[in-house]
Amino acid sequence: MTTGFPNFDSKSARLFERAKHVMPGGSTRNQTYFPPHMVYAREAQGCRMRDIDGNELIDFHNNYCVTILGHQHPDVVDAITEQAKRLTCSALATEQEVELAEIVCARNESFEKIRFVVTGSEAVMNAMKAARAFTGKSKIAKCEGVYHGSNDFAEVSLDPTPQNWGQGRQKSVGFSEGVPAGLLDSMVVIPFNDAAAARTILEAHADDLAGVLLDLVPARCGGHPASPEFIAMLREFTSSNGALLIVDEVITLRMAYGGAQEWLGVTPDLTTMGKIIGGGMPVGGLAGRADIMEMFDATNGKPAVPQSGTFTAHPLTMAAGVATMNAYDHEAVDRLNALGERTRSQLREAIAAAGFEGQVTGQSSIFIMTFSTEPLTDYRAVYRATSDRHHRIVAALHPKLVNRGVLISAWGLGCLSTPMTGAEIDHLSEAVQESLIEIREEMDG
């Protein structure tokens, strides 16, 4: 970057001061804040962004894994522009909605039918509703510490601590203050990748369990995939007990042409998705077995699960999604995944060369840096591994990377986009190594 961060004389710093007068904390989205002041984006092209002060950043953040084709991809821009010239908003359906549904459903046989919503969080919410309506049961199970969006049900036990997470068996803990006890009772919490322990918990709720919600590669459990044993147990248990297996692919859909479920060999009953299928526009999706998806069918009166929304299947989103999913073909997926392997390898070398202990996990085109050598097996293992030392390093690393023209998430996660080449990966690994050397000198001093 051409100016250092933080810079309290910058346009970003001054704009942040304005923002604090009209928005709590100066924003309407907590993820955009990193102390001591925000950086405001102005424009972007490919894998590079410029802030309002003119500083350039290579975008390894991609709005939490959304912009798979990078910024301002010509096909996406053309699709949005042409659609905007014709129609931007309507109470009628559009052809682009049908076209995107056909494109997405063709990528995996488990996507028999699909419904679009506005966010991944909304997709998960409707998946849980559909599971309850279809099975006539009330409880949903999820893995401890895994993020499934911003509703009270999905957020249960998102960030429990040793003081409240329960001993011997996971406990349902609210994320926001004031979550009703009845809501907590409707969620069953299981450990990730511990098939025996999870099955014991599930069996205790089998008569009331409508579904099991699973992220196949949860970042908050270390970025490792669900084991074959864990997947097989959940698939067998749900099938045998009249519950649905709901796979959350809001992030992991990028990992293979048909999503992480194709790569890991599992066929869920329902799949939630979002992020990449909207081409950078607000989107969510819920796909799955035709008989379950009929819970949303309103052609014969009120459906079992009424689902609509003013901006659902927005014409601009549908047009951008069509262009994006057509471009993210088998060749693009394979190339990006190979680049992801190179990224993780180079980052491991950079961390070691800087004299730090750590590990780089993640799959496909996603990487996560953790400054600990403890095995990252589940949420509790990650909680222990990400000690105060890890947090101090990550907190110091983020602004130093910004000053070297690199943007990742504030907690060490990053992802790739198709415009990236080896040159961007080299820049990232060099920036990480240089930044860590500075941090080590500061810590030793």
| Same domain membership, residue 340 and residue 227 | no
What's the pTM value of the predicted model, to 2 decimals?
Answer: 0.96
Residue where a domain terminates, one of 327, 344, 378: 327
Strand partners, 209: 139
| Same domain membership, residue 315 and residue 248 | yes
| Same domain membership, residue 374 and residue 294 | no
Task: Report the side by side order of strands in the sheet with 284-288.
Answer: 113-117, 284-288, 270-274, 244-248, 209-214, 139-143, 187-190
Backbone dihedral angles phi then psi of residue 245, each to the nearest 5 degrees: -95, 115
| Same domain membership, residue 175 and residue 119 | yes
Find the CATH number of the domain harbouring 178.
Answer: 3.40.640.10
Residue where a domain terminates, one of 327, 356, 382: 327
How many other C-beta atoms lie within 10 A of the C-beta of residue 328? 21
User: What's the pLDDT at 4?
Assistant: 78
212 lies in some domain: yes
| Same domain membership, residue 263 and residue 192 | yes
Domain encompassing residue 39: 11-68+329-444
d(CA 353, CA 436): 9
Work out whether the CA dihedral 89, 90, 96, 100 comes out positive or negative: positive
Instruction: Give the total number of structural domains in the chain.
Output: 2
3 lies in some domain: no
| Same domain membership, residue 34 and residue 107 | no
| Same domain membership, residue 282 and residue 249 | yes
- What DSSP string runs through 82-132? HHHHH-S--SS--HHHHHHHHHHHTT-TT-SEEEEESSHHHHHHHHHHHHH
| Same domain membership, residue 412 and residue 349 | yes
Asked if residues 294 and 271 have their Cβ atoms less than 8 Å apart, the reply is: no
| Same domain membership, residue 82 and residue 63 | no
319 lies in some domain: yes
d(CA 322, CA 300): 29
Find the CATH number of the domain harbouring 364.
Answer: 3.90.1150.10
372 lies in some domain: yes
Our measurement of the distance from residue 350's CA atom to the centroid of its chain's CA atoms, rounded to an integer in Å, reads 26
| Same domain membership, residue 386 and residue 313 | no
Residue where a domain terminates, one of 286, 308, 327: 327
pLDDT in tens, the chain (445 residues): 445 788 999 999 999 999 999 999 999 988 788 888 999 999 999 999 999 999 999 999 999 999 999 999 999 999 999 999 999 999 999 999 999 999 999 999 999 999 999 999 999 999 999 999 999 999 999 999 999 999 999 999 999 999 999 987 899 999 999 999 999 999 999 999 999 999 999 999 999 999 999 999 999 999 999 999 999 999 999 999 999 999 999 999 999 999 999 999 999 999 999 999 999 999 999 999 999 999 999 999 999 999 999 999 999 999 999 999 999 999 999 999 999 999 999 999 999 999 999 999 999 999 999 999 999 999 999 999 998 999 999 999 999 999 999 999 999 999 999 999 999 999 999 999 999 999 999 998 7
18 lies in some domain: yes
**CA-CA-CA-CA torsion for 199, 205, 208, 210, nearest 10 degrees?**
-30
| Same domain membership, residue 155 and residue 245 | yes
CA max distance for the chain: 72
| Same domain membership, residue 37 and residue 79 | no
4 lies in some domain: no
318 lies in some domain: yes
